[in-house]
Structure 1
């Protein structure tokens, strides 16, 4: 019986170590939605908690923030500077989903603005080159 406890205890420890490693190295990719990323992290937290590892909410929040891409840095800074109270991970998930939709809207607006500003610059350049060609006759002014 002792042998079984030692054997399965080691396996349990290795399982916790693998889950912890996955949790601490988790990074959200551009193709992933915040909802899917948060579900993945929540699943890892619950797997560790089922094995007896308990986390304080503040620690969970910091792990989540560390896993987010740089696009969320202003959101994270706002949470810290305004001392926003987060009661649980699902509340944070809802806040991040709202931030994600805002980020997507801003990204679309900046892409549209960037493309339209490049197009108007090209038109101005073309107009200038046509005018300069019309004005030049190839004869020097001022005579001989």
Structure 2
């Protein structure tokens, strides 16, 4: 620290006061940083094939950045952000969530979403198996009719 900066901070009693003052002098303004992080948080969308847990970790990273900037988000708003950022395959879950007026923590919500995700994956694989089975039958039936 230069002598001039040291002299400016002599009267400050805590390191927090010094850091706050240095942030005001040289750092990016808090409101601009908060704006950028919140913009990312509000625009984030889950990608097809991305796991719920991976998506949630990305959202948590942005939320923690906001908290470092002394900005917090209400729990209900954060739950709404999570629900809005999900893919279309979770539409039925979201409808049920709101219709049943489910009250839960963010961790409980993520656990419910992980369970729903595994259910969706297993139902998709069973649908694919049924489609493959029915197409094989058609092929076998066509083969039989050709031999006659």
After TM superposition, the score normalised by the length of structure 2 is 0.77
Q: CA RMSD in A?
A: 2.1
How many angstroms apart in 2 are the aligned matches of 1:124 and 1:82?
A: 48
> Could you tell me which of 95, 109, 112 is aligned with 2:112?
95
Aligned partner of residue 27 in structure 2, secondary structure: helix
Cα distance in 1, alignment partners of residues 22 and 120 from structure 2: 55
Query: 1:6 Cα deviation (Å)?
Result: 5.6
Residue segments in structure 2 that go unaligned for 5+ positions in a row? 1-7, 9-20
TM-score of the pair, normalised by structure 1: 0.79
Cα separation, 1, equivalents of 2:134 and 2:80: 39
Higher-Rg member (1/2): 1
Q: 1:75 to 1:51 in 2, by over 3 A?
A: same
Aligned length: 129
Matched, 1:38 2:77: no
Aligned mates of 1:90, 1:4 — CA distance in 2: 33
The correspondence of residues 1-144 of structure 1 with structure 2, limited to 5 A, is 5=24, 7-8=26-27, 10=29, 12-86=30-104, 88-131=105-148
User: What is the DSSP-based 3-state SS (H/G/I as helix, E as strand, rest coil) of the residue aligned with 2:147?
Assistant: helix
What stretches of structure 1 move > 6 A for 4+ residues in a row? 1-4
Cα distance in 1 between the residues matched to 2:130 and 2:65: 45
- State how far apart, in whole Å, the 1-side matches of 2:125 and 2:109 are: 24
